[in-house]
Amino acid sequence: MNHAPLKTVVTVLTYNEGEKLKQLISLFPTDANYDLLVINDGSTDETDSLLVSEKINHIKHDNNYGVGHGIRTAIEYAQNESYDVIVIMAGNGKMQPAEINNLLEPIYQDNADYVQGSRYLSGGDSKNLPTFRNIAIKLFTFMTNFVLGFKGTDITCGFRAYKLKIFDNQNININQEWLGKYEMEYYIHFKVLKEKYRVMEVPVSMIYPEEKKNYSKIKPFVGWWSMIRPWIYLVFRIKK
C-alpha cells in the first residue's frame, strides 16, 4: 500500500473515560504511520496520571470546555506542528484504532479532503446501538442531507479525518466562541460541503456497551440543541 508522505496526527478527545481510555490506548499499534495526541478536556479522574505514565503526548484543559473546544485545540496544535492531516476520534472506546487507516486511505490517495466514518455502510458496524439512538441518527442524517444535498449515511459519527489545508480557508472560522461543544463537528461538515471540498464516507465500527447505559455524554435537550443550532445559524446566515 503506497501512501503519500502526509504527516498525520490522530487526536483522541477524552473527558473522565477512565478504564475505557486505558483500554483504547492499548489498542494503538506501536508502528503506526501517524502520531498520537490526546486532548484531556478537564478530566477529574485518573486520566492525567494514565497519560503521563504511558508517556502519551497530550494537552490538558484546565476545565471541561466541550468537544468543539477540544477539536479547536487539536487543530491548532496540528497546524503549529506542520501536520498535513488530522483524525478526530472519541476516547470512550466506541471507535477502533484498527480502522483509522480506513479514514486515511482516501486522503493519502488524494481522493478526498474530508472523510466521514459511517457505521451504516457495508463493512461498518453498530453493535448494541440503542433503538432510539438509531432512529434519531437516521432522522438527523436525512434532515442534514436535505439541507446540503449530500447523500451521507451517518452525520453523527465523530470518527473523521481532515486535510488541515481546509482550515486555511477564510470562509471556515473555527475560532468562533459559539462552536465550543457539539456545534463544531456540524459546523465543519456544513462548511466543507458548501466550500466544495471532496467528501467521502467510509465504513467504521461504533461499538456500544452491551448494557446500553452510559453510552453517551450528550445531554437531552441541551446537547440536542448544540447539535441542531449550527444548521439553523448557517442556513439562515445568523452566523458565519
Cα 48 to chain centroid distance, Å, stands at 21
Yes or no: say if 24 and 11 are a contact pair by the CB < 8 Å rule.
no
Sign of CA dihedral 123, 128, 129, 132: positive
| pTM score over 0.85 | yes
Tell which CATH classification among 3.90.550.10, 1.20.120.160, 2.40.30.10, 1.10.238.10 matches the domain 8-235. 3.90.550.10
CA 190/CA 237 separation, integer angstroms: 12
As a whole number, the mean pLDDT across the chain is 94
CA 28/CA 132 separation, integer angstroms: 31
Res. 5: pLDDT tops 50:
yes
Residues 6 or more apart from 61 whose CB is under 8 A from it?
39, 40, 41, 42, 69, 70, 73
Three-state DSSP at 73 gives: helix
Give the residue extent of every domain in the chain: 8-235
The pLDDT, as a whole number, for residue 1 is 46
For helices 183-194 and 67-80, angle between their N-to-C axes, nearest 10 degrees: 60
Encode pLDDT of 132-188 as tens digits. 989 999 999 999 999 999 999 999 999 999 999 999 999 999 999 999 999 999 999
CA 95/CA 28 separation, integer angstroms: 11
